[in-house]
């Protein structure tokens, strides 16, 4: 299991967090994804390597 932490600018509220989480879940096989607009980051737990280029396009 690996943890990936992404810095994401522009999240302003809980709805933004939900959109990011949903987008990642729809495009990748992940165990857990959690976003925080106050921290400006998304944390992904996955058993698989993720395509970094595709990940950047997703959010």
Q: Tell me the per-residue pLDDT of 5-36, one tens digit each, with 9 for 90 and over.
A: 999 999 999 999 999 999 999 999 999 999 99
Tally of helices (H runs) and strands (E runs) in the chain: 2, 3
Asked if residues 46 and 31 have their Cβ atoms less than 8 Å apart, the reply is yes
Enter the DSSP assignment of 49.
-
3 state SS of 18: helix
Q: Give the mean pLDDT of 28-45.
A: 97
| pLDDT of 54 over the 90 cut | no
What residues contact residue 31 under an 8 Å CB cut-off, 6+ apart? 1, 45, 46, 47
Pairing, β 32-36 against β 2-7: unpaired
Stated pTM of the model: 0.88
Instruction: Give residue 3's pLDDT.
Output: 96
């Amino acid at each position: 299991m690996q943890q990936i932490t992404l810095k994401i600018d522009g999240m302003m509220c809980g709805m933004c967090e939900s959109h990011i989480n949903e987008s990642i879940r729809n495009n990748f096989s992940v165990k857990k994804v959690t976003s925080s607009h106050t921290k400006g980051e998304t944390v992904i737990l996955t058993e698989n390597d993720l395509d970094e280029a595709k990940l950047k396009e997703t959010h």
